Amino acid sequence: MHNGSGADALLIQDLHVRVEGMPILKGIDLHVPKGEVHALMGPNGSGKSTLANTLMGHPAFEVTGGSVTFKGQDVLELATDERARLGMFMAFQYPSEITGVRVSNFLRMALNAQREDEISAMEFRRLMMEKMRLLRMDLKFASRYLNEGFSGGEKKRNEILQMAVLQPELAILDETDSGLDIDALRIVADGVNTLRGAEMATLVITHYQRLLNYIVPDVVHVLIDGRIARTGGKQLALELDEMGYEAITAAQEA
């Protein structure tokens, strides 16, 4: 377990969250330092998406106790757009299609929403091309209309490009049950592996161990019934793949 609050880190302490009056998170403690990739795994209904939505400020998720700080600031006091400006990024599920908005325009709007001053069209184009080359993406992708006829893999490519352009200090990737095929998994993993570095903390939320074959996490947390049941190294994900979540539940109950 890591110590210290670390002003550059995500620090969650004793977080309790209710949805429609039902307690879902029952005291979460989690610390994700800058420069590390943490995986949060758990069976369906364990509270993984509740945590992701709470971190980004979704109004349906009611915090009843505990705290969330990022870079030393109380995140729970901030609106979603203020959290984004602070450097938090969430790969969210988009509306299925946004007609008439090109990927490049959407990304530029997202970037401008975070900045004090608007980025010029030329400067933005340069930044986007640089990121697309870094991610080995076809430059034609940027002129596509957002999500129009996008495959699962293309939606993921869009999320990863958004992450590259926005350069967040904390990236939250909620992949829960998104039925990703192997290509989409690789896109996410290659993107995260290309972008990971000393300046970014990453929290990958996933149901499946297989994503972690491609993104090797520094730390793995297992969420069961609204609490972190185990924390360990990357081998914990492999153990889970073999034994299933039941083994951890049984050990907890013993």
Non-local (6+) Cβ contacts of 14 within 8 A are: 27, 28, 29, 65, 66, 67
Q: Computed over its alpha carbons, how large is the radius of gyration of the chain?
A: 18
Question: Going by DSSP bridges, is the β-strand pair 219-224/227-232 parallel, antiparallel, or unpaired?
Answer: antiparallel
What pLDDT, on the 0 to 100 scale, is given for residue 188?
A: 86
The Cα 138–Cα 194 span in angstroms is 16
Non-local (6+) Cβ contacts of 248 within 8 A are: 222, 224, 229, 230, 240
Residue 94 contacts residue 131 (beta carbons within 8 Å): no
H or E segment and range at residue 244: none
CA neighbor of 102 nearest in space, from 134, 130, 124: 124
The Cα 37–Cα 121 span in angstroms is 33
Q: How many CB atoms lie within 10 A of CB 248?
A: 20
H or E segment and range at residue 29: strand 22-32
Instruction: Give counts: helices (H), strands (E), the chain.
Output: 9, 10
Instruction: List, as one string, the DSSP characters of 184-202.
Output: HHHHHHHHHHHH-STT-EE
What pLDDT, on the 0 to 100 scale, is given for residue 176?
A: 54
What pLDDT, on the 0 to 100 scale, is given for residue 29?
A: 96
Residue 88 contacts residue 56 (beta carbons within 8 Å): yes
Query: What strands lie across the sheet with 61-70, from one edge to the other?
Result: 22-32, 10-19, 61-70, 73-74
Q: Is the pTM value of this prediction over 0.85?
A: yes
What pLDDT, on the 0 to 100 scale, is given for residue 179?
A: 66
Residue 76 contacts residue 67 (beta carbons within 8 Å): yes
Per-residue confidence of the chain (254 residues) as pLDDT tens digits?
A: 444 445 678 999 999 999 999 999 999 999 999 999 999 999 888 999 899 999 989 889 999 999 999 999 999 999 988 998 999 998 754 445 567 889 999 899 889 988 889 999 999 999 999 999 999 999 999 999 887 778 778 888 888 999 999 999 999 998 755 667 788 888 889 999 999 999 999 999 988 778 888 899 999 999 999 999 999 998 998 888 888 888 887 877 77
Which domains are present in the chain? Answer: 10-253 (3.40.50.300)
Non-local (6+) Cβ contacts of 116 within 8 A are: none
Instruction: List, as one string, the DSSP characters of 98-130.
Output: -TT-BHHHHHHHHHHHH-SSPPPHHHHHHHHHH
The crossing angle, in degrees rounded to 10, of helices 152-166 and 103-114 is: 30
What pLDDT, on the 0 to 100 scale, is given for residue 13?
A: 97
What pLDDT, on the 0 to 100 scale, is given for residue 148?
A: 77
The Cα 111–Cα 192 span in angstroms is 19
Residue 32 has phi, psi (to 5 degrees) of -115, 100
What pLDDT, on the 0 to 100 scale, is given for residue 96?
A: 52
Residue 5 contacts residue 69 (beta carbons within 8 Å): yes
What pLDDT, on the 0 to 100 scale, is given for residue 246?
A: 84
Residue 112 contacts residue 118 (beta carbons within 8 Å): yes
